[in-house]
Structures are given as structure tokens and as C-alpha cells.
Amino acid sequence: MAVAGRRVAGAALAALILAATAACGSTRQVFTSPQVSATTTSTATSATVASEKNAVVQLQGWLADPQPGMLTYNTIQVTGGGSINTMTILSGPFDPDLGTATLTGSIETLGSGSTTQGASSALEYDEKVYTSIPTALQTGTRLGKSWDVASVRSTWTTGLRLSGWWSALNTVKQVQADGVTSLGGATVDEFSAFVDMSAVKGMPKTLLESAPFAKAGTSKVEVDVYTAMGSGDLMRVTYKFGLPVKIDGAATATSFAGYEVDMSGFTEPSASPTPTPTGTASVPPDATTVASGTGDTDLAALLPF
């Protein structure tokens, strides 16, 4: 099926799921920060109210027909009794319609008073995510193996094209204006909402019980929406939960990991990035270069498409 055909089919499926969700009842959107009071709402300017409504419209419009762009995955994990922090940052083009992503970046480790950094790559292709194995770790059963692999759909509802993250973002029907910020050199308006993943209708149990939520210690997810000043066009969508993603983060009594996924740079299908990273690997990697066992299930669970 052509890309346009798949995109139309995806939009139709999204509409069907929206209808089914409505028939099952409303999904609770939970604000973990104080909700806007009636007094505050009454004093909000008409421009602010309009911009909040537009942010929701922009988000819902993109979910109905998600365009390709850039995806960034950030995570911080605190281990070794709180003495070792590992932060992963991967970024690159993704295409929701094709289910592909080409991410490159680094893994930074802070421990014993020193910081080390190494390169890392990840490829999403054919419902799997391949992550690079550092040369120093290519020993024993991994000798000559340069990739680990994990299933992207292992935390999805059986038979559905859409992930639990799509369902979670789709519940955002109200946002709060957080002011103006800078994004890629441009001034944008920022909005936020909080969603309790455990309250989302149809949320896959496999996602709620996955390692990221166990390590983050919460099912409450912050969703941030960024729109361009003036045009109001969608610029970025972010979802994050657990610890703030920074290398010097400290574990709490309930959480020792944090995750953040950013999607931005949305374009038309004709500008869809190729899934083949130049000078990195073929897609998919040759089977002889893929190690047996389980790959990065955290990353696999966090990918939205």
C-alpha cells in the first residue's frame, strides 16, 4: 500500500478508536499540579483561552494524521544505591506512518567522581528497535554482534496499530498555558496537561506494568504542547514522567528513573526521512550482527508509533 494509502487508513482507524473511546465513557485527565480555579479561569484573557483551545486542536489534528519529523528520547537511571547515574540521549528522524526511526546520540555515565561518555544508535524498523552494542561489550556470546533487538509492539494492545502513548495523548482535551519559551531559536507558546495512564480507557496492561513505569514509580505523565507564536502551528509534543532528565538527578523513595520523549519538526509525507542511516547500518541490520536475548525494552516501550 502507498504511503498516502497507509496514512488514510491510519486516520480512519484513529477515528474508529476515538468513537469507541467515546462510547465506553470519558477518560480522566489528571492534573498533578493545582488545577486552574474558577476565579483564575474567569480572569484569563480571551487570547489565552483561545491559545489553549488551539493547542488542543493542533495536538488532536496531528494525532489524527501524524506527520513525520524528529524524535528525541531522553532517560536518566540511578543505580548502584544512588552512586551511578546513566543518561541516554538519542535523536533523529521518525515516520509514524512507516513505523521507522533512526536515532543517534550518547550514553553518559556519572559515577565515582568521574563522567564517561559513549556513542549510541537505535533503529526502529518492522516493529522492532535495534540498539547498538558498544565494542567493549561485544564479548562472549556477543562476540561479533553489534546490535541488540527488542519488540516495539510488546506493550501494545493486540491487533491495534496504535500504541498506548497515542491513546494517552488523545485524552488531552484541556491544557494550561505556561507562558513563552524558546525552541530551536524560535519563540513559542508552551502548554501542559497531566494524564494518569492507569485511568486511560483501553490502556494496555503490558505498558502500565513495563519496566519504565516500575522504575519511574508513577503512572502520572506530563504532556507538553508547543505552538508557534502568531500562526499557532504545532511545533513540538512532549511526554515525560518520573525523575527530571538530568545527569545529576537523585533518586527518591519511589523513583529511580525518568523518561522524556519529544517529537518536533513535523513535515508533509513527501519530506519523510529515509530509514537508512548513512554510514551506520543497513535497515534492518543483518541477522548475523544481532545478538540473542533482550534488547532495550525501555526504549521499545516509550516509542509512540
Residue-wise pLDDT for 157-176, tens only, equals 887 778 999 999 999 999 99
Residue in 63, 86, 66, 68 with CA at minimum distance from that of residue 76: 86
- Percentage of residues in the chain having pLDDT higher than 90: 68
Q: Mean of the pLDDT values across residues 210-225?
A: 98
Report which of residues 34 and 126 the model is more confident about: 126
pLDDT of residue 80: 86
Residue 82 DSSP class: G
Q: Mean of the pLDDT values across residues 70-96?
A: 95
209: phi > 0 → left, psi -120 to 50 → alpha, else beta; which?
alpha
- Phi, psi (deg, nearest 5) at residue 222: -90, 135
Enumerate the domain spans of the chain.
3-302
Q: Mean of the pLDDT values across residues 104-125?
A: 90
Residues 6+ apart with CB under 8 A from 50: none
Report which of residues 278 and 89 the model is more confident about: 89
Quickly tell me which residue has 519529523 as its cell: 69
pLDDT of residue 127: 93
Q: Is 80 exceeded by the pLDDT of residue 201?
A: yes
CA distance 239 to 302: 10
pLDDT of residue 255: 96
* Confidence bin at 121 (pLDDT 50/70/90): very high
Please check whether residue 86 is in contact with residue 108, taking contact to mean a CB–CB distance below 8 angstroms.
yes
Let me know the angle formed at the C-alpha of 233 by 190 and 223, rounded to the nearest 5 degrees.
Answer: 40
- Count of beta carbons in the 10 Å neighbourhood of residue 31: 16
pLDDT of residue 114: 76
pLDDT of residue 279: 43
Q: Mean of the pLDDT values across residues 120-146?
A: 92
**Torsion over CA: 264, 251, 212, 128 (sign):** positive
| Core vs surface per residue 223-251: b (16+ CB within 10 A) or e | bbbbbeeeebebbbbbbbbbbebeeebeb
Q: What is the pLDDT of residues 268-297, one digit of tens each?
A: 544 444 555 544 556 789 999 999 888 999
Residue 293 DSSP class: S
* Confidence bin at 137 (pLDDT 50/70/90): confident
Q: What is the pLDDT of residues 227-273, one digit of tens each?
A: 999 999 999 999 999 999 998 889 999 999 999 999 999 965 444 44
pLDDT of residue 158: 80
Report which of residues 81 and 88 the model is more confident about: 88
* Confidence bin at 224 (pLDDT 50/70/90): very high
Report which of residues 273 and 126 the model is more confident about: 126
Q: What is the pLDDT of residues 13-64, one digit of tens each?
A: 444 444 443 344 333 344 333 344 444 455 568 999 999 999 999 999 999 9
pLDDT of residue 254: 94
For 3-302, the fitting CATH number among 3.40.640.10, 2.50.20.20, 3.30.470.20, 2.40.160.20 is 2.50.20.20
Q: How far apart are the first and last CA of the chain?
A: 18
Amino acid at 20: A
Mean pLDDT taken over the chain:
84
pLDDT of residue 38: 42
Please check whether residue 101 is in contact with residue 93, taking contact to mean a CB–CB distance below 8 angstroms.
yes
pLDDT of residue 43: 53
